[in-house]
Structure 1
C-alpha cells in the first residue's frame, strides 16, 4: 500500500499489506478442517445451478434476504480474452537465470542499498519455472536480540500484497456462482455498510473495487494504522465509521483505495458467513501450504476481534525499524487488522516463493488446485486500462510494464516500517519477491525486480537513444498535475494537495522530466502517441488528451491519475500568499507600536477596523506558526499517522477560519474607512491604502485556503 507523504509517506501507494500453522494452530484459531484430497480442493469451474442465498453472520439483527442468481459460465462477466488465455498457457522460451550469477548480482545490489539507505533487514525470493532460484535473508530482524533474517522463518509484513489473497478468495466465490463481478457490491453487504449514491448515477460494482476505480477519495491519517491494540476495531466497525466520500462515477479514473478492498473482504465474509481471517486461511493459505503466512497480528486476545497471531509465528516476527542519526530505532508494531483484507498479512520469503509458484503455475501447487486456470488468466489479463499502453489493473493485480517489452503482474506493499514488492513475469516463468523492515528502504523493493530483468534479459544500451520529440513538442506535456489518490476535503485534503502534486517539464533534449514524490525521472517518447518510456527503470508514462489538449497522465505504476491544475490551484500561489500574509501581518503589528500620534487620529469606524485588522494579523501569524510547527514534525511519519489530527494543525485551521471571517468584515468596512471624517480626525491616504492592501492580501489567502479545505477545522 504505498504510503505517500513526507507524512503519508513512501508507504500509502500500496496499503499494507492468515494462517496455516499446522493442524493444532489452525484448529485453535480458525477451526479449519484438515485439507481434503487434492481433487476435492477448490475445483471452481463446473457451473452449478442453485439458488444463492446471501448469508449473514450469526448475530445479525436483520433477517437474511434470499436472492436468486442465474449461474452460467463461471466467468461470464470477464472478457473473452480471459477465457482464451486460460486455454493458452504463456510459453516460456527464455534461458533460465544462472543461479550463481543471480546471487552475486543481488548480493551486490542489496548490500549497496542496505548501506546507502540504512536498511536493517531484507528478505528475498526468486523463482523460475517452478524452482526456487534464490532465497536469502540479509541483516537483522531484531537489533536487541541480534536475531538475523531467516528467509524460511522470519515474518515480514507484506503490506498490500495482502490484497492478492483477498482477490483469490473472491474469484473462487465468483467461479462458484455466489458472487458476480458486475453486480453492485451493496447486494453482498449488510445493510449498515451499503454505499449511498451521493449523487452518483452508477452503483459501485465488485469489478470497480478490484480495479481501484470505485470513485472513492483516499483517507488514511489517524485511522489506517493503530499503535495501541486497545484501539483496534473489527472490520465491520471500521468500514462503518471510516466511510470515504464518493468523488467521481465508478469505472472512470483509477485512485488506489484500501477501503475498497476492505469492503470486498467484508462482502466475502458476509456471503460465506465466515470471518475474513478464517475464510482466507481455508481458501488460500491452508491449501497452498503456506506454513508461515498469516493475516493475524501479534496482540492480546479480545473477544470482539479475530484471534491473534500464534505464539510460534509471533516469535519469528521481524521488528520494524526507523533510521535515526543515532542508528536503528525499533518501532512498536503497527496494527492493521481493522482493515485486514487490504493489508494485514505477514509472511516469509520461503512462503512467498511457494505463493509465486502457485500464481505462475495456473493456481495449482503440489497437485492441489487453489484457484482455477480461468481465474489465473484473469489475474494476468487487463481488466481495466485507463488509456492505450498505460499500466492498469488485472483482476486485482497490478499490470506492470517491464524492461525489454516484458509485461508482468503482481503487487507492491508498504506499512509504516515495511516495504515489499512481488512481480511475476509469465513469459519468463519468473517471480521476484523482496521485503525490507526499515522505513528508509522503499527504493530497493520498488526497483529490484525490474533491475533483475534488465540485467539478465533486457540490458539497456550504454548511450540512451535520442529523443523522438523536439523541445517545442515536449512543452505541450508540461505543467502541474494533482493526484486523484487523495482526500478531497478538510485538513487531510489540504495535506494531500500539498504533497500530491507532480510537475512535468520539457528538457532541452526533448525528453520529459517528471518530478513526483520529491524524485525526478526522465522519460522519452515512444512510437505510440502520448506514451513515454523511462530512460532508466520500469514503467510507462501515458498522457491523455481532451479536445487536443493534454489534461492528465497516469501513474507509471497505475495507482492513480494525475489531473492538470491551473495557476489558481497551484502550490506556488498558496506559498506566495502565505509569505505575503506573513509580511502584511508583521507590518500591521509593527505599525501599532511605531505610528506617530498624528497618524493615530481616526474615526470610530476606522478605530474598529484597525482593531479587527490587528486581531487578524495575530490570528494569521498564529495559523502560519501552527502549520510550521506541524510541518517541522512531519518527518516523523508515525507521529503524523498516530497523532492525527494534530493539535497544532487544528489550532492553525481554527485561527485561519476566524481570521477569514474578520477579513470579510473589514472588507465591508473599507468604503466607510475611506470616506472617513474631518481631515484632522481621519487616517491619511497612505494608511487607508495600506489598510486596503492588507485586507486584500488577507482575503486572497483566505479564499485559497478555503478552496484547499484548510478552513474546515471540523473536518479531519
Structure 2
C-alpha cells in the first residue's frame, strides 16, 4: 500500500541527540527510547504548508518567516542564521533572533554574525587534503605513517591506515575519552602533542567498519601542517578562505580580528544564560567560526565543480571524487563520501555534514542534482532539535513524496536473531585511560567529552515487527527493515559475517558513520552473571569472616599458633580482594550492563576508584602465588604446608573463584592503565 509521507522530525531529533558532542548520562539503555506519542506537536509547525517552487523567493521567505520564529520560541533558542544557494548564486540569506542577551541591539545578521559550525569544519579539512592530493604532495591511498616523524601509528593490522580511511571514518580506531572543549586556551595541546598523547588503539581493520572519529580529522590537520610547512589554521586561510572571499571565517582561537570578535554570536545554555567562547583541542575537526553568507560561497564552490568567483578551489574531477560514495554501509542505506555523507531521504540524493559544539548546532546540506544547498546554525544547547526540525520541514515543503511499505513473505519469522543489545562502534574497546581519572585532570577546565557512546536495544513485537526507539520496523527484504507505518523515512539494515551471523546494523536514524555492534546476550540478560558474581563475593567474604572469627577465638583462648609471616600475608590478601572488589561489584549490581560498557557512565560511577579493579587483580595474582606455596610449604617454618588441609583446600577454591572477578573486569574493560 502507499502511505503518504509525513514528517521525519523524529529521525532528525534522534540524530541531533546522538551526534558529535553528546553528554550521555543515561542510567539505563532504555532511557534512550524516544516517546513519539507527542509527535504531532512537532508536526503541527509545518502542517499548513504544501510543496512549492524554491525559486520563488517571496514564497520561500514567507515559509521561513512563518516556521523559524515559531521554532525558536518553542525551543527557547535565541537566534539562528541561514543561507540558501541555487544555480551557483546566493538565493536567500537571513538571520533570525538575537546573537547576545540584548535582542533589540544585537540581532543576528546573516552576512555579519559569526556562528561556531562544529563538525561542518571537517569539510574544509577535507578540501585542504584533496588540494594537497591534487599537487601530489599527498596520496589518498598511502600509509599515513609516511607523513609522520614524531610518532608512528602501530601496525596492528596488515592493512595500513590511509587518508581515504580517515576521510570516510573507517581507520578502525576505538574512541578514547579526552578533553575536547575548553573555556580558555590554558593547557590546550598543539596538534602534534594531541595526536601523540591521544593516539587511540586500532580495533578494526581499516576500511571495514565506520566509527566517527574526531581524532582522524585532527590527524589530517597535523599532516597538513607537516607537508605544507604552515600551521593548519594559516593553510586553510591562505588556500580556501581568502581565495573564496570568506573574510569572516577562521579556525583560529581566539578570534583573530576585532571585526570577528565584535560580530561573534554568544552561545547559550539551555537555561538561557550566556555561555563561553569554546576552545577546541580537535581544531581541524570542529573549530571553524563563520557567517551564513561565507558558508554560501563554500557551498557554491562545491556545487559548481570547485569554482567560485574565478577561483578554482578543487578540480572538477576532485569534486566528483569528494562527493561520490566511498564506503557503502548497505545498498539501501546512505553511504559515506570523502568527509561528506549522504542524507538520502524524500527520494532525493542529499550530501552534507552536521556540526555540534556545546552551544551551536549547524547543518550544511547539498542537493547536487538540483544545484541547491543550504546552511543553518542555531546558537543554543537546545538548537540541535531545532536544526533537525528545519531539515525535516524544508524537505517536506519542497520534496514531498510517498513511501511504499510492502512486507516480505514470512516477514515475522526468526526475528530473535536481531533482538539484543547493540553498542556504537564509537566507544572503548580496551583500557579506561586511567591516569586522568585517578590522579585528576590537568589544571584547565574540561567542559565536555566528545564521543558517541550509545547503547540501543532492539526488541520484537507480538505481530512480527522489530522495535527500536519507540518505533516499529517491518522486514521488506532479508536483513532489511523499514518503519512499518511509512510515516517516517527510517531504515535498519543488519550485516552478517562470513559465517552468516549478525554482527552489527546500520540505520538511517543515525548518520552512516555510525555502526552498532551486536553484544553478547550476557549483557542483556545479566541475572545469571550477577548471581555468580554475588556468590563469589559471598564465598570470599564468608571465608574471610571465618578466618577472622577463628583468629579471635584463638586469641581469646590464648591458643598460640606457630605461623610464619607469609601464611598471614596470604590470608590478608583474601581480605584485600573482597575490600577492593566491592566497589566495582556494587557498580555492577546498581547499573545496567549497557551503562558499564559505555565510556562516560562507568567513569561517572568509578571516578578515581577505577584503580580498585587493578589493585584487585594484583592481589588475586598474589593469592595464586600463595595458593601454590601453601601446598609446598615455601616460606613457612620448617617448610611445612601452610595451615590445615581443609584451610589449604578452602584457600585454593577461593583463589580459583576470584578469577571470576577478573573475567568481570575484562568484560567491562575496567583494567585501564
Would you say the 8 A contact 2:22–2:451 is kept in 1? no
CA deviation vs aligned residue, 1:293-316 (integer Å, no higher than 9, x gap): 111122xxxxxxxxx521210222
Higher RCO structure (Cα 8 Å, ≥6 apart): 2
Distance 1:455 1:257, change over 3 A: same
Bigger mean CA deviation after superposition, 274-283 or 538-547 = 538-547
Runs (5+) with no aligned partner, structure 1:
10-93, 299-307, 635-639
Distance 2:141 2:166 in 1: 11
Would you say the 8 A contact 2:306–2:315 is kept in 1? yes
Q: 1:453 aligns with which of 367, 387, 395?
A: 395
- Aligned equivalent of 2:479: 530
- For residue 229 of structure 1, report the CA deviation from its aligned partner: 0.7
CA deviation vs aligned residue, 1:413-441 (integer Å, no higher than 9, x gap): 11222222111112233212222222233
- Aligned equivalent of 1:322: 269
Q: 2:430 aligns with which of 475, 489, 493?
A: 489
Would you say the 8 A contact 1:454–1:460 is kept in 2? no
Q: Name the SS for the 2:121 alignment partner.
A: helix
Distance 1:321 1:693, change over 3 A: farther
Would you say the 8 A contact 2:427–2:453 is kept in 1? no
- Aligned equivalent of 1:505: 459
Distance 1:676 1:221 in 2: 50
Q: Name the SS for the 1:256 alignment partner.
A: coil
- Aligned equivalent of 2:277: 333
- Aligned equivalent of 2:232: 276
Matched, 1:156 2:115: yes
Q: 2:526 aligns with which of 559, 573, 581?
A: 573
Matched, 1:476 2:379: no
Would you say the 8 A contact 2:177–2:451 is kept in 1? no
TM-score (norm. length: structure 1):
0.70
- For residue 165 of structure 1, report the CA deviation from its aligned partner: 1.0
Matched, 1:226 2:178: no
Quote the RMSD (CA, aligned, Å): 4.5
Matched, 1:710 2:670: yes
Distance 1:582 1:130, change over 3 A: farther
- For residue 116 of structure 1, report the CA deviation from its aligned partner: 4.8
- For residue 512 of structure 1, report the CA deviation from its aligned partner: 2.8
- For residue 396 of structure 1, report the CA deviation from its aligned partner: 2.2
Matches within 5 A, 1:162-201: 162-187=121-146, 189-193=147-151, 195-201=152-158
Q: Name the SS for the 2:526 alignment partner.
A: helix
CA deviation vs aligned residue, 1:81-135 (integer Å, no higher than 9, x gap): xxxxxxxxxxxxx943544554455455545544454433322223333344443
Distance 1:630 1:148 in 2: 46
Matched, 1:128 2:86: yes
Distance 2:89 2:72 in 1: 27
Distance 1:435 1:549, change over 3 A: same
- For residue 339 of structure 1, report the CA deviation from its aligned partner: 3.0
Would you say the 8 A contact 1:158–1:346 is kept in 2? yes
Bigger mean CA deviation after superposition, 425-434 or 503-512 = 503-512
Distance 1:416 1:577, change over 3 A: farther
Q: Name the SS for the 2:421 alignment partner.
A: strand
Would you say the 8 A contact 2:145–2:153 is kept in 1? no
CA deviation vs aligned residue, 1:336-391 (integer Å, no higher than 9, x gap): 2x432221101122222222222222222234332222122123211222332333
Matched, 1:442 2:369: no
Would you say the 8 A contact 2:355–2:361 is kept in 1? yes
Q: 1:119 aligns with which of 53, 72, 77?
A: 77
Would you say the 8 A contact 1:135–1:350 is kept in 2? yes
Distance 1:425 1:353, change over 3 A: same
Q: Name the SS for the 2:176 alignment partner.
A: coil
Distance 1:592 1:440 in 2: 54
Q: 1:544 aligns with which of 476, 490, 495?
A: 495
Distance 2:224 2:432 in 1: 33
Distance 1:525 1:628 in 2: 36
- Aligned equivalent of 1:15: none
Distance 2:668 2:569 in 1: 30
Matches within 5 A, 1:257-656: 257-298=213-254, 308-323=255-270, 327-336=271-280, 338-403=281-346, 405-460=347-402, 465=405, 467-468=407-408, 470-491=411-432, 499-515=453-469, 520-526=470-476, 529-534=478-483, 535-537=486-488, 540-546=491-497, 547-556=499-508, 557-568=511-522, 570=523, 573=526, 577=530, 581=534, 615-623=576-584, 649-656=606-613
Q: Name the SS for the 1:135 alignment partner.
A: strand
Q: Name the SS for the 2:235 alignment partner.
A: helix
CA deviation vs aligned residue, 1:154-192 (integer Å, no higher than 9, x gap): 2111111111112222222222333222222233x2411
Distance 1:397 1:143 in 2: 34
- Aligned equivalent of 1:74: none
Distance 1:676 1:400, change over 3 A: same
Q: Name the SS for the 1:413 alignment partner.
A: strand
Distance 1:367 1:110, change over 3 A: same
Distance 1:425 1:343 in 2: 23
Distance 1:627 1:334 in 2: 35
- For residue 711 of structure 1, report the CA deviation from its aligned partner: 2.7
CA deviation vs aligned residue, 1:567-592 (integer Å, no higher than 9, x gap): 24x26539963996599679959x97
Would you say the 8 A contact 2:177–2:450 is kept in 1? no
Distance 1:524 1:135, change over 3 A: farther
Aligned residues: 587
Would you say the 8 A contact 1:130–1:361 is kept in 2? yes
Distance 1:107 1:244 in 2: 46
Distance 2:654 2:257 in 1: 64
Bigger mean CA deviation after superposition, 255-264 or 119-128 = 119-128
Distance 2:113 2:398 in 1: 29
Distance 1:258 1:3, change over 3 A: same
Distance 1:102 1:693 in 2: 76
Distance 1:330 1:216 in 2: 35
Distance 1:579 1:492, change over 3 A: farther
Distance 1:575 1:123, change over 3 A: farther
Runs (5+) with no aligned partner, structure 2:
1-18, 28-51, 438-448, 556-560, 632-641
Would you say the 8 A contact 1:239–1:263 is kept in 2? yes
Would you say the 8 A contact 1:467–1:509 is kept in 2? no
Distance 1:677 1:371, change over 3 A: closer
Distance 1:662 1:578, change over 3 A: farther
- Aligned equivalent of 1:18: none
Would you say the 8 A contact 1:401–1:540 is kept in 2? no
Q: Name the SS for the 1:138 alignment partner.
A: strand
